[in-house]
Copies of this chain bind each other. A is one copy, B any other.
Amino acid sequence: MRIGICGAGTVASGVVSILQDSKGLEARLGSSAIQIAAMASRRASDNPVFAGIPFELDVFAMPSRADIDVIVELIGGIDDALRLVKAALSEGKSVVTANKALLAHHGAELMALAQSQGVSLLFEAAVCGGIPIIKALNESFVGNNVRGIAGIINGTTNFILTKMAEPGANASFETVLSEAQRLGYAEADPTFDIGGMDAAHKLAIMAALAFDEPLQIDQVFTEGIQEIDGEDLKWAERLGYRVKHLGIALADDTSLEMRVHPALVPDQSQLASIQGVTNAVNVLARPVGETLFTGPGAGAGPTGSSVVSDLFDLARGAPTRPPQSLSEDRGSRKAKSMLETKSGWMVRLSVRDRPGMMSQVGSILADHGLSIDQIQQRDAPDGTTTVVMILDSAVERDFQASLTALKSHPDVMPGARAIRVFDPESIG
């Protein structure tokens, strides 16, 4: 099988290194089963890993080459990648891609094209780097009814939250973000990661596969970690939780919810223990039960490993699952509005220290059907009291109404904050 690699960045170097070094592949497929026919990138590369490989500067010339059977799309971005992948599929060539943004926005169209051409579009590398979650959802859990996925699926945000939560850190979001950028764990423009869009792409892809529903990136509620401060993390810890940035997709027989947001998770849960740039995906399915996949979510080695796993499947002639799972003509569940979803909450208020104040807070919550699971308070020298509560799970609409009511109370100071609580045990 002769492949053409488009892109010459980090992941491409990982793929080339593996293909040149791996004894395992040789043993299983024969020594020349996967040959790199050519690489292409808009910019020349002086990466010594690529030495000896024919290198072109026009990626769009690759799909039509007769000496290439499979295109590996690693150029990133959306527009050019879309053009490239469409061209390759139209030429009857299978494509392996690590491009989650492309799939999240054009997966249905590309899958339909692949299917009509009788070729494969594989993308293990697009979701959570080295964790084989796509294969698990597509193949291992094929006899299951998946009810939920919940995971830490963006390494940048988890690195930042881990650093901010370190004992004695007292580091602001901005300070830690700068450190992440210096270490290469965050992009120069980090919006995509810290704003949650990257996680939303991954979640939409996993949810489509897990639930056999169309891919619906526009239905993913997306909130980033920009608003989290060090006090949030400290209070969460005192109350028995850690703050993580989660992707959550839940389905019942008729509805589907997909959301990406920061959340408190119980500190005894496995997700709470996931540190730094590591990713973790919890899958709740019947009858298999609860499984958790943990591993490196990005980088040349992990992502390259997943690209090569897809290439191996193509080289050994493994028929892939019928690709309709990302297409638009499947599924029957209705997407839930975020206002209809349920979460617990951590609420932090600063209130004027007056008699009966706590009872007023309690009755505002009760009026909206909310109940308090834990409460702590701390007097400030300025005559106010900080009140931090964990609320039991409630419908978002009711909670938001109660928060508005609390904020409008004359003795509640400006700046009331709320972060959702998610217990992985609550699904399954």
**Binding stretch for chain B, among A46-54, A110-118, A310-318:** A310-318
Write out the residue numbers on chain B whose beta carbons fall within 8 Å of the beta carbon of A132: 132, 135-136, 139-141
Contact of A140 among B135, B141, B212, B268 (CB under 8 A): B135
CA distance A142 to B25 in the complex (A): 6
- C-alpha gap A25/B142 in the complex (Å): 6
Chain B residues near A292 (CB-CB < 8 A): 292-295
Interface centre among A140, A285, A286, A322 (most CB of B within 10 A): A140
Encode contact with B along A286-308: 1 for CB under 8 Å, 0 otherwise: 11111111111001111011101
**B-chain residues with CB within 8 Å of residue A300 when the two chains form the complex:** 287
Is the beta-carbon distance between A319 and B322 smaller than 8 angstroms?
A: no
Chain B neighbourhood of A294, CB < 8 A: 270, 291-294
Residue of B with least CB distance to A321: B28
Check B288 against A305 for contact (C-beta < 8 Å).
yes
Minimal Cβ-Cβ distance residue in B for A134: B140
Q: How many copies of this chain does one complex carry?
A: 2
19 contacts between A and B (CB under 8 A): A22-B143, A22-B144, A22-B145, A24-B142, A25-B142, A25-B143, A28-B142, A130-B289, A132-B135, A132-B140, A135-B139, A270-B273, A273-B273, A286-B301, A287-B302, A288-B302, A316-B319, A317-B319, A318-B319
- Taking A135-B135, A273-B273, A319-B317 as contacts, is the C-beta distance between A291 and B301 under 8 angstroms? no
* A14 at the B interface (CB under 8 A): yes
Bound-state Cα–Cα, A304 to B143, Å:
9
Question: What's the interface size class on A, roughly?
Answer: 35 or more
- A17 CB within 8 Å of chain B: yes
User: Is B291 in contact with A293, judged by CB distance below 8 angstroms?
Assistant: yes
Q: Say yes or no: is A124 at the interface (Cβ < 8 Å to chain B).
A: yes
A13-31 to B contact mask, C-beta < 8 Å, 1/0: 0100111011111011000
Q: Is A393 an interface residue (CB 8 A)?
A: no
Q: Contacts A273-B270, A319-B317 known; A18 to B143 CB distance under 8 Å?
A: yes
Which A residues from 159 to 191 make CB contacts under 8 A with B? none
Nearest residue, chain B, Cβ from A141: B305
**Residues 40 to 58 of chain A near chain B (Cβ within 8 Å):** none
Residues of B near A222 (CB, < 8 A) are none
Chain B: minimal CB distance from A139 (Å): 6
A-B residue pairs, 8 tightest by C-beta: A287-B301, A143-B308, A132-B140, A291-B295, A130-B288, A288-B305, A292-B294, A18-B143
Cβ–Cβ < 8 Å partners of A313 in chain B: 139
Q: At the interface, yes or no: A6 with Cβ under 8 Å from chain B?
A: no
B139 and A312: CB pair below 8 A? yes
CB distance from A74 to the nearest CB of B (A): 15
CB distance from A284 to the nearest CB of B (A): 11
* Binary flags per residue of A309-333, CB closer than 8 Å to B gives 1, else 0: 1001100111101100000001000
Known: A273-B270, A289-B302. A145 touches B312 (CB 8 A): no
User: With A143-B24, A313-B139 in contact, is A17–B287 under 8 Å at CB?
Assistant: yes
Contact indicator A305/B27 (Cβ below 8 Å): no
Please measure, in the bound complex, the distance between the C-alpha atom of A317 and the C-alpha atom of B294, giving whole angstroms. Answer: 29
A287 contacts which of B212, B290, B304, B330 (Cβ < 8 Å)?
B304
Known A27-B212, A140-B132; judge A18-B287 contact (CB<8 A). Answer: yes
Asked if B143 contacts A287 (CB within 8 A), the reply is no
Nearest neighbor of A270 in chain B, beta-carbon distance: B273
A224 to chain B, nearest CB (A): 26
Question: Contact check: which of B143, B290, B295 meets A289 at CB < 8 Å?
Answer: B295
Interface status of A126 (Cβ within 8 A of chain B): no
Q: Are A144's CB and B288's CB within 8 A?
A: no
Q: A140-B309, A273-B273 are in contact. Are A145 and B287 (CB under 8 A)?
A: no
Known A131-B291, A290-B296: A24·B270 in contact at CB below 8 Å: no
Q: Which of A24, A25, A317 has the most CB of B within 10 A?
A: A24
Which B residues touch A299, using CB under 8 A?
Answer: 289
> Please, what's the 1-or-0 string for A244-285, where 1 marks a CB less than 8 Å from any CB in chain B?
000000000000000000000000101001000000000001
